[in-house]
Chains A and B, each alone.
Chain A
Amino acid sequence: MRLARDSYLLTMRTIRESLRNPALLGGNVFIPLFFFFVNLGVFKNIAATGFGVTDYAGFALPAAILQAVSNASAGQGLVQDMQRGYFDKLALTAAPRPALILGRMGADVTMAIVLSALIIGVGMIAGARIESGIAGALLLLLMSGVFALVYGAMGVALALRTGSPQMVQLSFLLFFPLLFLSPAFAPKEVFTGWLEFLATINPVTYVMEGMRSLVLTGWDGAALWKAAAAMGGLGLFTFTMTALAYRHRSL
Chain B
Amino acid sequence: MLAIHAQALVRTFPPDIRAVDGIDLAIEAGRVFGFLGQNGSGKTTTVRMLTTLLRPTSGAAFVDGLDVTKQGAAIRQRIGVALQEAGLDDVQTGRELLTLQGRLFGMGAGEAKARAAELLRVVDLEFSADRRVGTYSGGMKRRLDLAAALVHRPSIVFLDEPTTGLDPISRDAIWRYVQRLNQEEGLTVFLTTQYLEEADRLAHEVAIMDSGKIVAQGSPAELKGALGADVVTVRPEGGEAARTRAAEILRNLGGVEEVRQDGEAVRVYIREGARAIPRVVLLLDEAGIALADVQHSQPTLDDVFLRTTGHHIEPGVAAPAGVKK
Contact = CB atoms under 8 A, between A and B. Distances in A.
A90 interface: yes
Interface stretch (B14-22, B85-93, B231-239, B264-272): B85-93
A87 interface: yes
A84 interface: yes
Contacts of A96: 73
B148 A89 contact: yes
A86 B106 contact: no
Given A13-B100, A94-B106, A95-B104, A86 B51 contact: no
Interface residues of B, number: 29
B140 to A, nearest CB: 16
B53 A91 contact: yes
A89 B91 contact: no
B83 A88 contact: yes
Interface string A189-215: 000000000000000000000000000
Nearest to B87: A85
Nearest to B78: A94
A248 interface: no
A49 interface: no
A69 B79 CA distance: 39
B178 to A, nearest CB: 18
Nearest to A95: B104
A94 B96 contact: no
Q: Give the residue among A91, A92, A96, A251 with the most B Cβ atoms within 10 A.
A: A92
B89 A21 contact: no
Nearest to B158: A92
A83 B262 CA distance: 40
Contact of B81 (A16, A81, A84, A92): A92
A6 B107 CA distance: 11
A94 B148 contact: no
Contacts of A84: 87-90
B91 A81 contact: no
Contact of A90 (B86, B90, B104, B152): B104
Nearest to B109: A9
Nearest to A87: B87
- Interface SS of B by simple majority: loop
B133 to A, nearest CB: 10
A87 B83 CA distance: 11
Contact of B104 (A21, A94, A251): A94
Interface string B74-115: 001101010101111111100010001101111000000000
Contacts of A9: 100, 103-104
B55 interface: yes
A93 B87 contact: no
Contacts of B91: 16-17, 20-21
B90 to A, nearest CB: 7
B86 A85 contact: yes
A10 B100 CA distance: 8
Nearest to B105: A94
A250 interface: yes
A94 B87 contact: no
A119 B101 CA distance: 35
A129 to B, nearest CB: 40
B76 A250 contact: no
Given A88-B83, A89-B148, A93-B76, A6 B88 contact: no
A2 B73 CA distance: 12
Nearest to A2: B106
B82 to A, nearest CB: 9
B89 A17 contact: yes
Contacts of B77: 94
Contact of B89 (A2, A81, A94, A251): A81
A250 B55 contact: yes
B113 to A, nearest CB: 13
Contacts of B148: 89
B92 A92 contact: no
Interface of B: 51-53, 55, 73, 76-77, 79, 81, 83, 85-92, 96, 100-101, 103-106, 132, 145, 148, 152
15 contacts: A6-B104, A10-B104, A13-B92, A13-B96, A17-B89, A84-B89, A85-B85, A87-B87, A88-B87, A92-B53, A93-B104, A94-B76, A94-B104, A94-B105, A94-B152
Interface of A: 2, 6, 9-10, 13, 16-17, 20-21, 81, 84-96, 250-251
Nearest 10 CB-CB pairs, A to B?
A85-B87, A93-B104, A95-B104, A89-B87, A94-B77, A86-B89, A17-B91, A86-B87, A92-B81, A94-B105
Given A93-B104, A250-B55, 12 more contacts: A13-B96, A16-B92, A17-B91, A21-B91, A86-B87, A88-B83, A89-B83, A89-B88, A89-B145, A93-B101, A94-B106, A95-B104
